[in-house]
Amino acid sequence: IVMTQTPLSLSVTPGQPASISCKSSQSLLHSDEKTYLYWYLQKPGQPPQLLIYEVSHRFSGVPDRFSGSESGTNFTLKISRVEAEDVGTYYCMQSIQLPLTFGGGTKVEIK
Amino acid sequence: EVQLVVSGGGLIQPGGSLRLSCAASGFSVSSTYMNWVRQTPGKGLEWVSVIYRGGSTYYADSVKGRFTFSRDSSKNTLYLQMNTLRAEDTAVYYCTKAWDYWGQGILVTVSS
């Protein structure tokens, strides 16, 4: 399954919203009615950290300014008000089918 | 607190072998599935292998037949045995607990 992320990079003014898209080449909807799409943020020098699982569920400790949504095979991560600590590279990932695959990443910087 | 500490990386010549370890704490490695993922500047994040609770393992085509994923429940540690290493295996390797926690990553460099 190919995961296509856009844009490649994003420059955002603090306090402004940001949106990242991820399109999967196949449905990520499992027979258990869960959709296995994840969002990660990788800050410089750190491993990826889980933000969102199963499209829209925020992981423990993730601020509520992060939200995820879907429309068919199109997925969106939204940051309602970007903060300085949100800089890094964001990745989407699917785990419905092996091999598990990641999007190419979206680098977010602060203006 | 979940912790994953990866060790065993370094510089190795093409054709050589290396074993990565991932020592877990805060949970049992046999209670969930675990993965190895690698990252290179050119290819981004690449899933390498998974071991399920029952012990079954699966591999990316790029490493199948060369890498072996195992676990020692008594030590709560995972291992990635990497044989016949190639230059394209050069990457930072991460172990992950399911998809929620990632270890800090370790660099493997395959070069003569």
- Which pLDDT does position B41 carry in this prediction? 79
Q: Does B100 touch chain A (CB under 8 A)?
A: yes
Residue B33 near chain A (CB below 8 Å)? no
First to last CA, chain A: 34
Contact B104 A91 (CB under 8 A): no
Query: CB pairs below 8 Å between A and B: how many?
Result: 39
* pLDDT at site B96: 97
User: Chain B partners of A104 at a C-beta cutoff of 8 Å?
Assistant: 44
pLDDT at position B42, please?
A: 78
Q: Residues A91-97: what's their mean pLDDT?
A: 97
The beta-carbon neighbor of A47 closest among B44, B58, B104 is B104
Contact B100 A101 (CB under 8 A): no
Is the Cβ pair B99, A50 closer than 8 Å?
yes
Residues of chain B predicted below pLDDT 70: none
User: Which pLDDT value is given to residue B27?
Assistant: 97
Partners of B71 in the β-ladder: B78
CA closest to B64 among chain A residues: A99
> What's residue B93's pLDDT?
98
Cβ within 8 Å, pair B45-A48: yes
Nearest to B6 by CA among B31, B18, B26, B23: B23
**How far, in Å, CA of A3 to CA of B33, rounded?**
22
Distance CA B20, CA B42 (A): 22
Give the confidence band of A10 by pLDDT, cuts at 50, 70, 90.
very high
Averaged pLDDT for residues A30-42:
97
Cβ of B44 under 8 Å from any chain A Cβ?
yes
- With a CB-CB cutoff of 8 Å, which residues 49-88 of chain B face chain A? 50, 58, 60-61
pLDDT at A63 over 90: yes
CB contact under 8 A, B44 and A105: yes
Q: State residue B48's pLDDT score.
A: 98
Question: How far from chain centre, in Å, is Cα A57?
Answer: 11
Assess whether the previous peptide bond of A7 is cis (omega < 30° from 0): yes
The three-state secondary structure class of B2 is coil
Q: Do A102 and B46 touch (CB under 8 A)?
A: yes
Determine contact: B1 vs chain A, CB below 8 A: no
What integer pLDDT is reported at residue A20 of this predicted model?
A: 98
